[in-house]
Amino acid sequence: MEKDTRDKAPHPVAAMLLRRGFEVLISDPTEYLFFPPDLERPFEDELYGMLKKYSFRLFVRDVIRNRRSFRAGDLLKYSSLEWVERYLKFLLERKVIEETGGGAYRLKAEAVFSFGDTLEWFVANVFEREFSSPALWGVRLRGGEAGGDYDVVASVEGRLVYVEVKSSPPKNIEEPEVAAFIRRVLELRPSLAIFLEDTRLRMKDKIMPFFEGLLKGRAVERVEGETFTIEGRIFVTNSHPGLVNNLALCVREHLRPRAFWAD
């Protein structure tokens, strides 16, 4: 079920957005999560810990891709058989998947066709659990013209943060998607915007030229590895060496004072 924030006391992030002229129509939708939305806290904690592993996220993508019927042998592209069997046992014991006979399984959440919503849920949880920062995911806003869908919106030390979350590899990302992200950034005007791609492939080769072309005249700098920043306000990053580490790097670099004494 989708959570309609108009019928209850506003979430801290929803309140921040409202003060900026944006009404949160929908946030934290659960229809397309790959796991049961009413999971108990211990399972949620376990799942969050598992999703920190890049190999598990790739495994879940394959489960969703083959959701109607799959065997362990169908999921070996990114993990060994030993790890696939461990992951299958984890999901089976928690009733995320079920056996259909002959060593086959199926995903119980029949409406799920993409890893995107689950990845947004995970990133929002990173902000809440690792950074002690309230966050909403799957946000739909009223009050703008650039398109009202925002993947993750958080409040970090009172600063509005927007994260665009991509589960596709760079080869599937084209310039119009980057342009749409920039339009949303310019309309929302967060203190910090992050373009996060859940991949260990390079960002410099394909993704950064889009930003450089669309933001001509803006200084683009490499922060570390495949994490880049445009004037300390927009950050572009991937999941190498770790998704949580790279998000922390973006937040830290944005919050880091440029100087102690004002000029």
pLDDT at 18: 96
| Beta bridge mates, 17 | none
pLDDT at 3: 53
Instruction: Please write the tens of the pLDDT for every residue from 13-57.
Output: 999 999 999 999 999 999 999 998 887 889 999 999 999 999 999
Instruction: State mean pLDDT over 139-165.
Output: 93
DSSP assignments along 31-83, one per residue: TT-SS-TT--HHHHHHHHHHHTSHHHHHHHHHHHHTTTSB-GGGG-SSS-HHH
Q: In degrees to the nearest 10, what's the CA dihedral of 128, 79, 224, 154?
A: -20
What is the percent of the chain with per-residue pLDDT over 70, rounded to a whole number?
Answer: 96
* pLDDT confidence tier of residue 259, bands split at 50, 70 and 90: confident
Residue 100 to residue 103: CA distance in whole angstroms: 7
On the question of pLDDT at 79 being above 50, the answer is yes
Which domains can be identified in the chain, with CATH numbers?
41-107 (1.10.10), 116-255 (3.40.1350.10)
Over the chain, what is the mean pLDDT? 94
* pLDDT confidence tier of residue 5, bands split at 50, 70 and 90: very low
Residue with structure tokens 């009202």? 148
pLDDT at 175: 98
237 by DSSP, 3-state: which? strand
Instruction: Please write the tens of the pLDDT for every residue from 166-175.
Output: 999 999 999 9
165 by DSSP, 3-state: which? strand
Instruction: Give residues with Cβ within 8 angstroms of 35, minimum separation 6.
Output: 43, 47, 94, 96, 109, 118
pLDDT at 7: 56
What is the percent of the chain with per-residue pLDDT over 90, rounded to a whole number?
Answer: 87
Residue 156 to residue 192: CA distance in whole angstroms: 9
DSSP annotation of 11 reads: P
Q: What is the phi/psi pair of residue 31, to 5°?
A: -60, -35
Burial annotation 83-113 (CB, 10 A radius, 16+ → b, else e)? bbeebbebbeebebbeeeeeeebbbebeebe
| Of 104, 109, 145, nearest in space to 30 by CA | 109
140 in Cβ contact with 25 (< 8 Å): yes
On the question of pLDDT at 6 being above 60, the answer is no
Lowest average pLDDT, out of 39-43, 87-91, 183-187, goes to: 39-43
Residue 55 to residue 103: CA distance in whole angstroms: 22
pLDDT at 248: 99
